[in-house]
Structure 1
Amino acid sequence: MNEREGTREGATVRQARPEDLTRLVELIDEHAAYEKAAPPAPCLADRLARLLFVPAEPRLRCLLAVLPDGTVAGYATCAPELSTWDGTEYLHMDCLYLTESSRGHGLGPLLMAAVRTEARILGLDEIQWQTPAWNESAIRFYDRLGATSKEKRRYTLSTED
């Protein structure tokens, strides 16, 4: 798969490649700081390489927003998941992030269009994701896309004792 869903002001969206890992980790670090979360694990590039590039059918997909000058300005990651209640698969978008200077220039809709295309390619009829309740600009963006929200809390539980 190459570029997805055309261009916006000369920007493109394409699948991540192994040579993008350093920049992707930088963006993930920025994203974590933006969400006031812990920084990524030091070995994140190696972990992502295994998820994105090693298996014949990758577990994780990563789409990059690339500016006309070649700068990677943002990313969206997604993976197929299952809904027990619906008895169907859907595409779970884990992250969508654009650098602060890249917001408001049409790259978000371009990335979302590429995620929708990815879902269609995989034969999936729905995309699901979450965003922090305090991220009002993201909520407005998703509302403008016509997405609907569901009230839930996300929990994590370590498998360590």
Structure 2
Amino acid sequence: MTGTVCVRHARPADLPRVVELAAEHAAYEKAAPPVPDLAARLARLLFGPETPRLRCLVAELADGQLAGYASCSPEVSTWEGREYLHMDCLYLRAEHRGLGLGPLIMEAVAAEARSLGLNEVQWQTPVWNEGAIRFYDRLGTHAKEKLRYTWPVSV
């Protein structure tokens, strides 16, 4: 399968499909659906006039279908006084899991980190997502247990 897949940066024309994948991802993680104007928000973050804040990599099949995506952005570790690449999302459609696409996307994320001069990628996954945990463990990654909090604040 990997010979028929291209992992590349998302293009503006990909946004409707990326939004669909994000909605599938949210449903898979039992989260609220994405905001209605997600495509416009992502367009600003990915393709706005300033340096992109967000990067999105897509796995494109030979027929042009997007099988999954990963999104990431540089962040800062105060304790280490350095930047790292934070992978916010990694999602493959159910029918494309176990076919070798995950390692391809992860290598593309690692290449993105290297292109930015960053030597580490960090992310999180739900504790119940045993398939993802097995996948990440097979890659040789290291888990750190923490709780993630969200705190909505008014703007």
Shared fold, TM over 0.5: yes
State the distance in 2 between where 1:144 and 1:57 align. Answer: 34
Residue in 2 that maps onto 1:15: 9
* Alignment match, 1:103: 97
Gap regions ≥5 residues in structure 1: 1-6
State the shift of 1:40 in Å: 0.3
Give, in angstroms, the shift of residue 39 of structure 1. Answer: 0.2
CA-CA distance at 1:69 after TM superposition = 1.0
Structure 2: distance between partners of 1:89 and 1:55: 23
User: Quick one: distance in 1 between partners of 2:64 and 2:39?
Assistant: 20
State the match for 2:86 in structure 1.
92
Extract unaligned runs of 5+ from structure 2: none
Q: For 1:102-140, what per-residue CA distance to the aligned partner results, in whole angstroms no more than 9, with x for missing partners?
A: 000000000000000000000001000000000000000
| Structure 1 counterpart SS, 2:89 | strand
Residue 123 of structure 1 corresponds to which residue in structure 2?
117
Given residue 70 of structure 2, which amino acid in structure 1 is its aligned partner? A
Runs of 4+ in 1 over 3 A off after TM superposition: none
- Number of equivalences: 155
Instruction: Provide the alpha-carbon RMSD of the alignment.
Output: 1.2
Q: Percent identity?
A: 67
- SS of the residue aligned with 1:142? helix
Letter in 1 for 2:111: T
TM-score normalized with structure 1 length = 0.94
| Amino acid paired to 1:157 | W
Name the SS for the 2:125 alignment partner: coil
TM-score norm. by structure 2 comes to: 0.97
Does 1:49 pair with 2:37? no
Residue 56 of structure 1 and its aligned partner are, at CA, apart by 3.7
Question: 1:98, 1:79 → 2: CA distance?
Answer: 19
